[in-house]
Copies of this chain bind each other. A is one copy, B any other.
Amino acid sequence: MIEISLLRHVKVNGPPALYGHTDIAPQVVQNKSLLTALVNSQQLTPYDLVISSPLQRCQLLAEQFSKTCQIPLTCLSDFKEMNFGDFDGVAFDDLNFDDSSQSNSQGWQLLEKFWHAPDDITLPKGEPLALFHHRIITAWLELIAQQFSNLSSNKKPIKILLVTHGGVIRMILSHVLQLDWQSATLQQHLQIANGSCSQITITRPFSENNKTHSVVNYIGLPMPSTI
């Protein structure tokens, strides 16, 4: 059995924007609180392995946690957030509705279209949703297959912490729950909170219909009042 906790990074140090591949720093105080919460939780239900997106808003926490609790850490580039192309890291305020310049107005219109049909609209120089989905699910299935092949013969469960991004977690949850990842409603409305943890339990790698058997379990981590 494999238990994987999908932990979203804390809030970032920047104005509201689409942050995808932009390597923006996490908020220091929040990151410290989340680290403390993780280290405390390690006493009860220890992780065996930490995997992280290489972007610093994930990796800083993963490195500190790995070092503090002496758990192996692997950074996997495939678990980076979606690439929002020309919009990536550009503050929404710089695309203000009141701004009369044509380019900004067009930018907002495109963003609106993208939000309403994320599978049909690709942002300029951005990653199409279908390719993002393919990247994440391929990496996810590889991770599971590899971990199952590594499982010791005594079948002791392995517990993994995957520190990653909101869009990545949404894609994995959609896959595990067999939801329609192309749905604009799901992409828009299933928000994964900063610092929240979604727990997935996989009892066997592939069932008769080639799907993973999984249980998704939302576990609160950490308290809103602590970050």
Residues B176 and A189 in contact, CB atoms below 8 Å apart: yes
Residues A37 and B190 in contact, CB atoms below 8 Å apart: no
Report A44 CB to chain B, min CB distance, Å.
5
User: Is A138 part of the binding interface, using a Cβ–Cβ cutoff of 8 Å?
Assistant: no
Residues B189 and A177 in contact, CB atoms below 8 Å apart: yes
What sequence of 0s and 1s flags, for each residue 164-191 of chain A, a beta carbon within 8 Å of any chain B beta carbon?
0000000000001111000101101111
Contact of A225 among B41, B176, B189, B224 (CB under 8 A): B41
Tally of contact residues, A, Cβ under 8 A: 37
How many copies are assembled?
A: 2
Please measure, in the bound complex, the distance between the C-alpha atom of A186 and the C-alpha atom of B216, giving whole angstroms: 10
Contacts of A45 in B (CB 8 A): 224
User: Is A24 part of the binding interface, using a Cβ–Cβ cutoff of 8 Å?
Assistant: no
Contacts of A224 in B (CB 8 A): 41, 44-45, 219-221
User: Is A218 part of the binding interface, using a Cβ–Cβ cutoff of 8 Å?
Assistant: yes
Please measure, in the bound complex, the distance between the C-alpha atom of A51 and the C-alpha atom of B220, giving whole angstroms: 20
Residues A193 and B183 in contact, CB atoms below 8 Å apart: no
Contacts of A188 in B (CB 8 A): 215
User: Is A196 part of the binding interface, using a Cβ–Cβ cutoff of 8 Å?
Assistant: yes
Residues B37 and A223 in contact, CB atoms below 8 Å apart: yes
Contact of A218 among B37, B176, B198 (CB under 8 A): B198
Contact of A183 among B44, B178, B183 (CB under 8 A): B178
Q: Which A residues contact B (CB, under 8 angstroms)?
A: 37, 40-41, 43-45, 176-179, 183, 185-186, 188-193, 195-199, 214-226
The 10 A-B pairs of least Cβ separation, nearest first, read A220-B220, A220-B221, A191-B217, A41-B225, A193-B219, A196-B220, A40-B225, A196-B218, A178-B185, A222-B223
What are 16 A-B contacts with C-beta separation under 8 Å? A37-B225, A41-B223, A41-B224, A177-B185, A177-B186, A177-B189, A178-B185, A189-B214, A189-B215, A189-B216, A191-B217, A192-B218, A193-B219, A218-B218, A220-B221, A222-B222
